Structure 1
Amino acid sequence: MSMFRIFENPLDDSSITIEHTDNVLHAFLMIKAKYPLARIYKGQPCAETDVTPHDKATAFALLNADPDDQFEVVCHAGAAVLPYIYYAVVAIMAAYSLYTVLTMKNPSAVAQGSSNNDLSSRSNKQRLGGRVADIFGTVKAIPDLLAVPLSYYNSDGIEIEECLMCLGRGYYQVTEVNDGETAVEGISGSSACFYDPETSLIGTPAYQAGTAFDELPYTVKKSASINGQTLKAPNDVSLSNVGLYFTSGGAIHRTNTSVDFTDSFEVGDGIAIQGAEFGQANVSLSGSATVNENGQVIVTSTQNIAGFATYQGLTLTGASITKTVTNPDLTTTTQSYDLSGSFEVSSVAQTVSGSDYIYTIQLSNASTVNYNWSQVDTDYSISAGITLTDSSNSINLDETYTVGAVQEDQITLANASSVNSDWDKLSSDFGGTTQGLSTDSEISLAIVTSKWVGWYYLKFDNPERALFNFNFPQGLYQVTKDGVRKDFRVQLTIEYQYLDINGDEVGEVLSYAFIQWSNIIDSFGKSIYLDLDFGHYGIRFRSAKTWAVWSNGNSYETVKLKDVFLLKQSTQDSYPDVTIVRTKTLATDGALSVKERQINCIATRKLYSYATGVQSTEMTASNNFADAVCALTVDPLIGRRSLDTLDIESLYATASEINAYFGTAIEFNYTFDDAKMSYEETLAAMASVLFCDARRESNIVYFAFEQPQDVPTLLFNHRNKVPQSEKRTSNFGVNKDYDGIKLTWTDPDDSWSESEINLPNDDVVNPQSIDAKGVTHENQAKLLAYRAYNKLIYQRRAVEFQTYHEADLVTRNDLLLVADDTKQQVISSGAVLDQDGLYLELSQHCELEVGQNYVIHLQLPNKSVDVIAVTQGDDEHEVLLARAPTASLILEYDGNLSCTQYIITRDTGVRRDLFLVTEKSSDGTITSINYSDLYYNNDKDFINA
């Protein structure tokens, strides 16, 4: 415990007492209530050790004093408050107003506030370094992103975005979960799950819209370098429609003798042959189709295909099956799997059934080409594009080669048979030449110019997977010269290399290529996942469109690299003290109608109640500000104190009294998002819209409800006001030429947007603006506006004066009785030359009239002022004091330059008026306005509504 040595009278050693206390600030304020001039020193008393609180920081320093510290308190006993003031102090128990703290310098605000409080540009965003949202009451909540959103495409090419977000600290009752203005339940495939603190992110949500999540979220690093770059066409077409034909050995010829190959190609060029398909053509099968667990595609068709057994390939497009899947919690969901791809065929069998032909096509590598085939566990019907390809009676020389030699009429390929084995079939089955063979395609030659996007670097410790998202904004198809829409295919290649801890490349460059074959006219996407080795620190990567089939007409093949992510599955199963939100949104028409992602909900904080004097057994959704004050007080990050510092009974009584007085709901619904906002500032912000003042009395916090008053708290006259500091003004009209009030509040009935109340009407030109944060009820907003407006129109007088230490005893909205000392006349002022007992010799002439009352104001060495009644002495430079000064005077005859100064004024019995405190500064200046019951004229507007 800290030790106090109290000097009740500095001139009397017998007045010294010693006390011990656990709360230095509270003990000193109690002493100061009786001795307004009291000062406290840490160590031996002097200016350097003076720790008398004068602002927030110095008050907190005393509040958190070390138990081993020793303090000296000098009371200046002669300056004890007058009896009637002292009894007023006892009556209010030396109330220490939180408003005093609020008038000091405010801390700077957090740069990024919660979207809950941003009524103009709301969106789910990251607030790095910001305070986790503290919601009290009911608000429209826009959760904050905890991680980078993860986007990918499903098997249908539809974009999906998954987000991990934080709703706020504590527990909540959640309703009306929307994406923008659209209910999440109304967006097909979307879901949103809210998890209470300490609840598994794959467990049972407190609130669920859509399907639940069965995997922990990914920790994501997104490449900032990728923003939708277009992968350019890889080939510059050089020659087509010039009568091209091929001979064994990899030779290319032309029949158009006007064409010189040496004008277009050089040795070493990459050359792409397109459209060189001869013999038995690919055939599209139409009819009903099923797939089964044996990797078979069974088609029933009216087509009788000649040479069906010669086909060695099958292409499926748009082949999807739908399964019912049982979740871990035994609920069931429906899941679609796309079986599309280009497959190898081991056999094709035909049977006849009436007029139908049934083809059983056995795939040899179904699950290898498309892993979704592993989900085929029974017979499923499909509706798909089915094309038999690669007949053994056909030859297809399309591929990319290297030019080995060039002549005017012939190009010899350097690696023909090793690149494409069909060159051997040309020799064995087609007489060594294609001249004279028919083809449905136009044959062309193109110089291959691979155009890469990259290299780009993406650093991330030990990523598990890389995700590449490709977007086809126009779809992927071709339209022939005959106007027929056909399949089109492109090859996309990704190259990547691992990075070490320094960001340098290690190991070989790895490559992954895939062919996208589609006949889709709408925008779609493709996600490619690459499993990464453990022990690296990111990758560098690049991507290109490395091949595209030649189009006999117009092709639509634009490809964009939309996103690149590095992924690592999170190991954090739950989060303490915060409510977590997981969402999945599909980019369907409904979702894309929202310009910006904005998952939102109506959230009400769940709190314990102490209305009975003890904590309730369960939390409930609460709009009672008394519950919020209790929660804030015991919060380890805000109040950090026990409930013993609250007047709980008074708090709940005040909440009930306010609602009963106004006859309508008076609530505080707001999100605190400023990390530097103190406990006192938080309570004061609440009180300001609840018609209250937050105060501390004997270290006990309570809320004082502002309503009509009868008994003033203190009297102020010339004895406790600094001479000539009083300024009185009388107004005709309204303060600062304000012609009304503009109060802004949040209207839940108007999409939780900002609404205004203008008094006396909407035509005000220069209104006093009030931002009623935390107000979401129209009646409450109107009551606040009318109180402000009534104070504006019924305020006719204002007084400002500087007091001695009695200013510590009052706070905002206290009722004061204030004497008018503006006509106070200075009779004499100067310096004290000498002292003889109670007689003072003055430096200036002084004549005091018989029958009049006078006082002298003495500036003491400790910077306090002692006010003492005086009468005339033996001559015009001498006065007689009614009592001894509270401290020794510094006399001029001793040669001191800073001798005691004095002012003598008349002690008049002037009229005293009631005033309401509006502001108090740290130097003891009080500003107040005339009190009137008319301020509360509209308080009962809704009592019978």
Structure 2
Amino acid sequence: MPVIEIQRVPGEPKERVQVSDGTIFYDWLCAQSLHDDVDIVINGRKLNEVDELGFPLQSSHNIQIFDQPKSVISDILSPIFKVVSKVFSFLTPKQSASVADSNTKESPNNRLTGQTNVARTYQARPDIFGQVRAYPDLIQQSMFEYINNLKQVTEWMNFGIGKFTVENVRYSESTLGSLAGASYQIYQPGENIPVIYEGFEFDDVDGQELPGPNESADIPIESATANTVVAGVFSGGQISMQIVKQAEFDYFYGLSFPHAVTLVINVSYNTASGPVTTDITVNANLIDAAITNNGSPTTPIDYYTFYFSDLSGSDAETTPSEATINNTTFILNDNQPLVVGPFFAPVDGDQLWVHLNAQLGKKDYANTGIRIWKVDEANNQIPGTMQYFQSGFSAAPKTDNYYLTYKITPAAGRGRYALQFDRLENSNDHSILKLEEIHSVRIRINESHPDDTLVKVSVRATEQATGSRERKYNALITRHTISYSLGTRTVDYTLRRSRSFADAVAHEWLVIGKQPESTIDLYELYSIANSLPNPNLGYFDYTFDDEDISLGSRIETICNVARVIAYWDDGVMTFARDERKEFPSAVFNRANIIADEYKITYDMTMPGGYDGVEVEYVSPTTNKKTYIRYRVTNTGIIEQTAQNPLKVSLSGCRNEYQARDRALLEVNRLFQSRMKMTMKTLADGEYISPGEMIVVADTYDTNQQAGYIVARNENNFDTSEQITFSGDMYVRVTDSLGNSTAKIIAYPRSDTKFGFIAAIPNINLNIFDGYNVQSPSRYVIATTEEMESMRWRVTDKKPNADGTYSITCDEYFDSKIDYNV
């Protein structure tokens, strides 16, 4: 049976689905809950748009499907999604520059400069956490209509995945309500949307002027003559003319049909007074043209055949239907310079919205006839779908510009339509009628979208824009997330507004990533969050906008802003904060270290040659990049720009308190943590993790003495190694679980050098007996200065194939839990 692998979210394990042999792949694919945009790889080859999907599955097929969150909502947008900015002319007399960025990966929420609303087609929908100033993504073309001579523009936009509290809706820096006729409506996930008008502009319509009948000096615009006719048929109110193919008629063959023409032909018919042979002129619509040949395999002769309907004119009315068309004359004239169009819809729709503009003097009027017909994929007319409408402007009360939107509901139902226009009265310099735009409109009724928060914005247009502007709708939004109860140790799936980094981690891991609860240590995560002395230290305000960022990288980004390290521990994502540790997590000495890979390095200057730090964050007031800078001098740390700063971009930080805390941490680390250490440990290395503080006795330093406990009698301890006391000495001892005590002052014993006296708490000790206990409790003993130098912070841990662990550490220093205190 063939196996199909599906990956729905980056970083998430792939689903493996077994399918029966012979199943049609396309039928199976349509039954899955997948997005419109997927990558399909079959036997190592990625399929493209022309590959056939309707094949039977076999055991030899190796199929992988990559289904990622995209920026468009498939059931709102047509797959034929075009971004056309000229409908936004109420803000700019020129095309909007934002269209050039329509395929950008980066959300305007993160860009911070030149923020606009853009259609990020085929990119990840925004996944926002915390509170951000959001510029929602456009999800369909701008729609407009004229109501009472005023242009009303409607935008549909997507804030992102999830539920949000939406506040302070603005256009650029101005409250949206300050714009005339402006309004907005927020639709939360699952909320019913009564109606959506989804419009698609006709690409070839852009303010064409409709000429009046008086502008007919250029008729005919094109003419062609054939002196020999192969065959002509006059029957059923239609005419067909076949001629030998010649270049003069190529123009007519390439026209869009139907097209208004006149034709001159020679006919013969009988009358009471005798036979008549004469040339007649017929007004008609050219409805089709075809190329055929005489079938000769060696010297084929090509023919043009033209078909005409809607015959009119005095000659057409007086010529009897039994007239014979002679083979002497055929003249074809393009008689349609005064007819504008046809224009063809880019996609199928339920309605056609025709937008007209007239420049009229007082008591002038302007009207147009509108002929529509349904077309197939090749733009050929579908018989029986032709309709005729009239629309326009009655006598103008004053000299002015006038606008209207005429909405047509075709009788033939949803489909692609062609439209043709002809003005019904003469034009002049104070009576000008223009076709401004046409929309093919799909009407969507009572829709809801379970995963996204949408916004509908309507605003009144500026008739004569004086400057070039772009869409800059934005709002202050706060994400609603799940949470976790430390008391009951259960996940609370009720959605509430939150800026907590811990809530962001839980929501991203469990809801977005769909990972099991057993794969994340939420108790430790929320214990860290609850221990923070100020809530500002735990805020995370950021937009994930790139589907290529894995789930693990997203968790790392969220945790970084709160000085938290995320790491895997036996298949579970767990956490530790970069802050002062009361007790070391483990003690290492020569008994559990492989000495030949033990190495300590020391920077004589500050690491990297840095003399300060520069932390970049987002100002909540200006929504722009802001910097906090510190410099290390001979007199201490001062708030000043450094010559060579360590630059830290704090993604997800929108408050100065949190940014200043990070800046002070990093600047203190520069001169308080200059040593690095690498070592290889035995199996004991399994029990330590990044971020923890450990004690390591320097194998080559005689004043850092270590060994294991042989026996205890109250406060008297027997040791495996001889101890040499020098000044005030302190000791740390591990219990039966490997946990270390605090440093406790130690005294020499008068009865032996293999021991010490110390007021160690009554802890359980492991005393080696060779049978039940083979890993004894350890000790390290040194002076205060040497004891402090034995403390290290674990930065990395890698298991080795032989059961050992490679550990990387930097010099530990007591980093404050909150530098702002």
1:464 and 2:350 equivalent?
yes
Q: How does 1:161-176 map to 2 (within 5 A)?
A: 161-176=153-168
Which of 537, 549, 559 is matched with 2:427 structurally?
Answer: 549
Give the corresponding residue for 1:200.
Answer: 192
Which of 654, 660, 664 is matched with 2:528 structurally?
Answer: 654
Counterpart code for 1:753: K
| Contact 1:160/1:586 (8 A) holds in 2 | yes
Deviation at 1:123, TM superposition (A): 2.6
| Contact 1:499/1:536 (8 A) holds in 2 | no
Give the corresponding residue for 1:681.
Answer: 553
| Contact 2:144/2:152 (8 A) holds in 1 | yes
Which of 763, 768, 775 is matched with 2:653 structurally?
Answer: 775
Deviation at 1:230, TM superposition (A): 4.1
Distance verdict in 2 for CA 1:701–1:918, change over 3 Å = closer
Secondary structure at 1:147 match in 2: coil
Question: For 2:565 and 2:13, how far apart are their aligned partners in 1?
Answer: 20
Give the corresponding residue for 1:754.
Answer: 625
Counterpart code for 2:162: G
Give the corresponding residue for 2:470.
Answer: 596
1:231 and 2:107 equivalent?
no
Question: For 1:917 and 1:930, how far apart are their aligned partners in 2?
Answer: 9
Give the corresponding residue for 1:586.
Answer: 460
| Contact 1:168/1:578 (8 A) holds in 2 | yes
Which of 221, 233, 238 is matched with 2:200 structurally?
Answer: 221
Which of 918, 924, 936 is matched with 2:795 structurally?
Answer: 918
The C-alpha deviation readout for 1:18-67, integer Å capped at 9, x for no partner, is: xxxxxxxxxxxxxxxxxxxxxxxxxxxxxxxxxxxxxx999969x9999x
Question: For 1:689 and 1:118, how far apart are their aligned partners in 2?
Answer: 18
Question: For 2:189 and 2:425, how far apart are their aligned partners in 1?
Answer: 52
Question: For 1:547 and 1:913, how far apart are their aligned partners in 2?
Answer: 97
Secondary structure at 1:580 match in 2: strand
Which of 411, 422, 444 is matched with 1:570 structurally?
Answer: 444
Distance verdict in 2 for CA 1:123–1:265, change over 3 Å = closer
Deviation at 1:791, TM superposition (A): 1.6
| Contact 1:131/1:674 (8 A) holds in 2 | yes
Deviation at 1:687, TM superposition (A): 1.2
Give the corresponding residue for 2:374.
Answer: 498
Question: For 1:477 and 1:780, how far apart are their aligned partners in 2?
Answer: 62
Which of 114, 125, 128 is matched with 2:121 structurally?
Answer: 128
* Aligned residue pairs, count: 534
Deviation at 1:538, TM superposition (A): 0.9
Deviation at 1:930, TM superposition (A): 1.5
Give the corresponding residue for 2:813.
Answer: 932
| Contact 1:714/1:816 (8 A) holds in 2 | yes
Which of 107, 110, 131 is matched with 1:114 structurally?
Answer: 107
Question: For 2:505 and 2:426, how far apart are their aligned partners in 1?
Answer: 68
Secondary structure at 1:600 match in 2: strand
Question: For 1:732 and 1:163, how far apart are their aligned partners in 2?
Answer: 60
Which deviates more, 771-780 or 790-799? 790-799
Q: How does 1:709-720 map to 2 (within 5 A)?
A: 709-714=581-586
Give the corresponding residue for 1:743.
Answer: 615
| Contact 1:109/1:674 (8 A) holds in 2 | no
Question: For 1:265 and 1:813, how far apart are their aligned partners in 2?
Answer: 84
Secondary structure at 1:571 match in 2: strand
Distance verdict in 2 for CA 1:681–1:192, change over 3 Å = same
The C-alpha deviation readout for 1:199-229, integer Å capped at 9, x for no partner, is: 2223xxxxxxxxxxxxx11233333444x34
Deviation at 1:602, TM superposition (A): 1.5
Distance verdict in 2 for CA 1:566–1:118, change over 3 Å = same
Q: How does 1:331-350 map to 2 (within 5 A)?
A: none
Deviation at 1:134, TM superposition (A): 2.7
Deviation at 1:782, TM superposition (A): 0.8
Question: For 1:195 and 1:670, how far apart are their aligned partners in 2?
Answer: 22
Counterpart code for 2:443: Q
Deviation at 1:673, TM superposition (A): 2.8
Deviation at 1:490, TM superposition (A): 4.0
1:640 and 2:515 equivalent?
yes
Question: TM-score under structure 2 normalisation?
Answer: 0.55
Question: For 1:109 and 1:528, how far apart are their aligned partners in 2?
Answer: 35
Counterpart code for 1:128: T
Distance verdict in 2 for CA 1:568–1:237, change over 3 Å = closer
| Contact 2:694/2:792 (8 A) holds in 1 | yes
Which of 655, 662, 665 is matched with 1:787 structurally?
Answer: 665
Question: For 1:710 and 1:267, how far apart are their aligned partners in 2?
Answer: 96
| Contact 2:146/2:152 (8 A) holds in 1 | yes
| Contact 2:221/2:337 (8 A) holds in 1 | no
Give the corresponding residue for 2:169.
Answer: 177
Give the corresponding residue for 1:139.
Answer: 132
Question: For 2:347 and 2:403, how far apart are their aligned partners in 1?
Answer: 25
Question: For 2:664 and 2:692, how far apart are their aligned partners in 1?
Answer: 20
Q: Which has the higher contact order (CA 8 A, sep 6+)?
A: 1
The C-alpha deviation readout for 1:748-797, integer Å capped at 9, x for no partner, is: 111x2222222235533443222211111111011112212222233322
| Contact 1:728/1:799 (8 A) holds in 2 | yes
| Contact 1:459/1:499 (8 A) holds in 2 | no
Distance verdict in 2 for CA 1:268–1:112, change over 3 Å = closer
Distance verdict in 2 for CA 1:941–1:542, change over 3 Å = same
Secondary structure at 2:454 match in 1: strand
Give the corresponding residue for 1:539.
Answer: 417
Deviation at 1:670, TM superposition (A): 2.0
Distance verdict in 2 for CA 1:941–1:625, change over 3 Å = closer
The C-alpha deviation readout for 1:494-524, integer Å capped at 9, x for no partner, is: 4543222555432376554544354666665
Counterpart code for 2:541: N
Give the corresponding residue for 1:734.
Answer: 606
| Contact 2:11/2:551 (8 A) holds in 1 | no
Unaligned runs of 5+ in 1: 1-55, 67-106, 203-215, 239-263, 270-401, 403-413, 420-447, 479-485, 824-909
Counterpart code for 2:143: L
Question: For 1:57 and 1:199, how far apart are their aligned partners in 2?
Answer: 28
Give the corresponding residue for 1:813.
Answer: 691
The C-alpha deviation readout for 1:432-464, integer Å capped at 9, x for no partner, is: xxxxxxxxxxxxxxxx98366654432434x21
Question: For 2:219 and 2:507, how far apart are their aligned partners in 1?
Answer: 81
| Contact 2:368/2:392 (8 A) holds in 1 | yes
Give the corresponding residue for 1:796.
Answer: 674
Distance verdict in 2 for CA 1:652–1:814, change over 3 Å = closer
Give the corresponding residue for 1:623.
Answer: 499
Question: For 1:265 and 1:638, how far apart are their aligned partners in 2?
Answer: 67
Tell me the percent identity: 21
Secondary structure at 1:217 match in 2: strand
Question: For 2:538 and 2:167, how far apart are their aligned partners in 1?
Answer: 22
Question: For 2:450 and 2:151, how far apart are their aligned partners in 1?
Answer: 32
| Contact 2:482/2:491 (8 A) holds in 1 | yes
The C-alpha deviation readout for 1:671-713, integer Å capped at 9, x for no partner, is: 2333344443333222111121234556555432221125433
Distance verdict in 2 for CA 1:813–1:500, change over 3 Å = same
| Contact 1:724/1:822 (8 A) holds in 2 | no
Question: TM-score under structure 1 normalisation?
Answer: 0.49
Deviation at 1:714, TM superposition (A): 4.2
Distance verdict in 2 for CA 1:178–1:766, change over 3 Å = same
The C-alpha deviation readout for 1:138-173, integer Å capped at 9, x for no partner, is: 2222223333331222122x2212223333333322
Question: For 1:132 and 1:585, how far apart are their aligned partners in 2?
Answer: 25
